[in-house]
Amino acid sequence: MRLVAAAVLGSFIGMEREWHRRPAGLRTHMLVCVSSALITMLSMYAFNQSDPARIAAQIITGIGFIGAGTIFRHKDTVTGITTAATLFAVAAIGIGIGSGFYLATGVGTVLMLATLGLRFLEPKGESRDGPDKKKSKEKGRR
């Protein structure tokens, strides 16, 4: 049941990413969430002689590596940071579900979805650093 719950919660984040045509979509987020839950469960039950947090901690390292692969820099533009963050978030969801923290994980998923829904607050058509960033960089190069 934990793995099914992880697949469902991971799919919610993945569907949002899919709707906005981001590189990591439904399947990627589901896979990260389910595998994080499975690894957490294995660390808790199959290797119960050792500290289960040690194996779960390695999930974060692996997701950091995958997330870094989604971040691209082109000239003065950086893309993929939110996608990297969502992969990190679904790994946390998977760890939470795998550990049996259903309520906290459910609330966390709702908060993550709400945060992704705040897209409408972002300014359109200009960089996050403001319209004068490029001009200030050009002045520094002269």
pLDDT tens digit at each of 142 positions of the chain? 999 999 999 999 999 888 878 778 889 899 999 999 999 999 888 877 777 778 778 898 888 888 887 888 888 887 778 888 999 999 999 999 999 999 999 999 999 999 988 877 777 755 454 444 444 445 555 4
Rounded Cα–Cα distance for residues 40 and 98 (Å): 5
Angle at 61 between CA 59 and CA 65, to 5 degrees: 115
At 126 the pLDDT is 52
99-103-106 Cα angle (round to 5) = 95
User: What's the predicted TM-score (pTM) here?
Assistant: 0.77
The domain ranges of the chain are: 2-141
Can you read off the two tokens belonging to residue 60?
């974060």
